[in-house]
Each structure stands twice: as C-alpha cells, then as structure tokens.
Amino acid sequence: MSNNHQTTLLPTSLPSKNLNASVLVSALLLFVSLLVPTQAAFSASSYTVTETVEIIEYDLDEPQAQATPATAAYGQYGPFRVISADTVEMTGTVDSYTPALFQQMMKHFPAIKRIEMLDCDGSVDEDANLRLARMIRRAGISTHVPANGSVRSGAVELFLAGVTRTAHRNAEFIVHSWMDENGRQANDYPANDPVHAEYLDYYTDMGVPPSTAKAFYTLTNSVPFSEQLRLSRNDMARFQMVH
C-alpha cells in the first residue's frame, strides 16, 4: 500500500501588492497619531488678545472775537481818531501833513479837549512835530497815556503839550537822541548851538522848570538814536512832566 501524502507549502511572504497596502495604512495611522497631539498642544498654548481702546473727546471752544470799541469813530484825521465830541485817540506817526489835519479836525470838532495817546511812535518831521505840539497847547487840550499805552521818541514832546498831562502807572515813555536829515545826532552839535535851545525853550514853554528841562534833555541825548531808554510814569513825574 503506498502512502501518497502530498504536502502543500505555504508561502513565507505576502505578495508585494498586499505588502504595499499594509505599509500605507501603517503610515497613515502614524501620521494621525502624530497630528492629534500636535494640534492639542497648539490649542493648549494659544491665547486671545483683548485690546482696550480709550476714546477721549475734547470740547473745542472757538476763540472769542476781539471786543470792539464802545463808541464808533466820528472821523479819522491822520493819526487822530475822534471817538466823541471832546476826545480823540492818537495812534501812529506824525508827518508833514499832520498839523494841517489837526487844524481841520479842530474846525470840525471844536469841543475836543482830550487826546488819548495809545501807541505813538514819534515823527518823521521834527519841525512839524513841534508845530503840532504848540497847536495842541493853544487849543487847551489835555494829554493822557492809558494803561499799556506807549509814547516814543518825538511823541514825548506831544505829550508835554497837554495843558494837563496824566498817565496810567503802566504807561511807557521811550526816549533817545534826535537825529537830523544829515544823520547828525544831538551830541554831534556843540553845546552852545542854537539847535539845542529850540528844544530847551519848548520844554520851558510847556511849564517844565529850566533846570529840570536841561536834565531831561541831557538824559535823552545820552541814548543814541538807534537805541531806546524806557521811562515809567514815575520817572516822568520826577522830571515834573506828569501832573
């Protein structure tokens, strides 16, 4: 009796196609396992930023308009502005035409008795300035420098023309030497030159004692024309130039 035993040998390895599929599945599982913790870790370390914005509102006030004078001007005559039947304000410079304009103003407003000298910077014609000053004195007009008023250079002579002369404690008076059309100043002339007598005589005519007038004239001429010396109301009072 013969024994016909047949042994079937099983393969020791999977076909290559099945092997590739298995490897692909394993790789996918590994990828998922790595991805999930990473996302969790990222989520755990994330945060939310909250920004607070403060809004500040301002109330803007528009500048106040400058106050206008309580009285309207009656008329303008060079540096003079008539503000009432008996009062004028003076601002600016005296020139060769100012005496005629003053005369015209007095013809139209004969009751004028007061000049408020607000901001007077002198003259460009000294002869016309002194002529105007004597006209003011003959008309019996008083002069006054209000608070923060400024009277400079030749305008100081106009202030002295007032039959009464008053000034606020904050008023200022600026003086310096005169200069003629040739550029020569007071100290360029000899002490006995008649040109000095013109000013000294004017001061005494306006009621300033001769010795005081000379002291004031010397003080003004000690300051070059290109410079300025500021005097207060009290300084002017010491020279008997304020009543």
DSSP per residue over 8-72, as a string? PPPPSS--HHHHHHHHHHHHHHHHHHHHHHHHHHHHHH-------------PPPPPPPPPPPSS-
The answer to whether residue 52 sits within a structural domain is no
How many domains would you assign to the chain?
1
Residue 136 or residue 39, greater confidence: 136
Asked whether the beta carbons of 232 and 170 are under 8 A apart, the reply is: no
pLDDT digits (tens, 9 = 90+) for 103-132: 999 999 999 999 999 999 999 999 999 999
Residue 177 or residue 57, greater confidence: 177
Is the per-residue pLDDT at 29 higher than 70? no
For residue 206, give its domain range: 75-238
pLDDT digits (tens, 9 = 90+) for 60-84: 443 343 333 444 578 999 999 999 9
Give, rounded to a whole angstrom, the gap between the first and last alpha carbons of the chain: 170
Is the per-residue pLDDT at 5 higher than 50? no
Looking up residue 86, the CATH number of its domain turns out to be 3.90.226.10
Asked whether the beta carbons of 145 and 115 are under 8 A apart, the reply is: no
The answer to whether residue 28 sits within a structural domain is no
Residue 107: name the closest of 68, 133, 77 by CA: 77
The answer to whether residue 218 sits within a structural domain is yes
Least confident of 65-79, 144-158, 178-192: 65-79
Residue 25 or residue 107, greater confidence: 107
Q: Which residues pair with 175 in a beta bridge?
A: 229
The pTM for the full model equals 0.70
Q: What is the pLDDT of residue 72?
A: 53
Q: What is the total residue count of the chain? A: 243
